[in-house]
Structure 1
Amino acid sequence: MLKLGLGAILTTGCQSQAEEVVRIGFDDIHGWGPQDPPWLTDSTAHSGRWSYSLSIADDYGPNFSRSWAELNNPKTIRVGAWVWLPHGRITTALAINVERDGEKIYYKSMGFREVVKRYRSWELVHQTHELPADMRPTDMVNVYIWQWGEHHRMKCDDMFVEKLR
């Protein structure tokens, strides 16, 4: 799994009633190393020039992990991303889990096949989560793209977490 920790790709701001606490756009990754990672593509992007290309060999795509305190102690969050799918047979999901001391205390995923109806174009996928009432500041919130079964090439861009309350 890729752990994105570059401060340059995280922004904080307000958007309508939601407070955006994490946003990952892949334009800021281009040029950070001697060569770009193999998953970075400029063939198409939702915003900017670069996006994440999940290959047929990958079980997991882009992900991030932040403590509950780093997310500003939310009770309700919305997680999402823009995805580009080649067709409707894809078995891929946006997943979230919360871990406490290495043990999963919350998990939920949203299969793209159930929500994406247009293919070969960018589609917004998002899901709202009520986090457990007993969250602790050190609990880790993990958001990631997961692919199982028959794998297909897909693209992802502009992942986000918003604090709703």
Structure 2
Amino acid sequence: MKLTAHPVAAQKDMAALDSVDCAILRHLQQDASLSIVSLAAKVKRSAPACLRRVERLKEVGLIRRVVALLDAKALGAGMFAVIGIVLDGSTPQAFAAFEKAAQKVSGCVACHAVSGEFDYFLLVRARGNESFNRLDAAQLLLLPGVRELRSFKVLREVLSTQAIPL
């Protein structure tokens, strides 16, 4: 079973993943802090064999990085907003300038270029309404090329996951 490091090739080679690879990925998505020994026991393989598989999955880019998911509310960033952005121009330069600036927005946890009514959606965390209003006035309204900005404050997170269905 040969997997390649190129993202498009890796996508095509998803069929090359066997049930053990998929089980490893599922378990790591649930708890990336599992030791190799614990992970190996869960997928019914030896620790060295499991480690080789995990390293290969990292090498080909299917495991990009391992992070801790923090409790935003407990850390004082419980307010969540989705911000729809429409740019003035549709040039590569306008998109590049906006994307560079968006990466510097305080509390921005994601920026997605989208199709449809908006050009981008930003997902932003803030301490509360006052904090968000300051962010809106000091940073969001000053983003380059913005023609229209619509903010949607999240009332309740019904589902929030980074898990990829396998």
TM-score, length-scaled by structure 2:
0.29
Larger Rg: 2
Judging by fraction of residues, say which structure has more helix.
Answer: 2
Kindly indicate whether structure 1 or structure 2 has the higher relative contact order, using CA contacts under 8 Å at least 6 residues apart.
Answer: 1
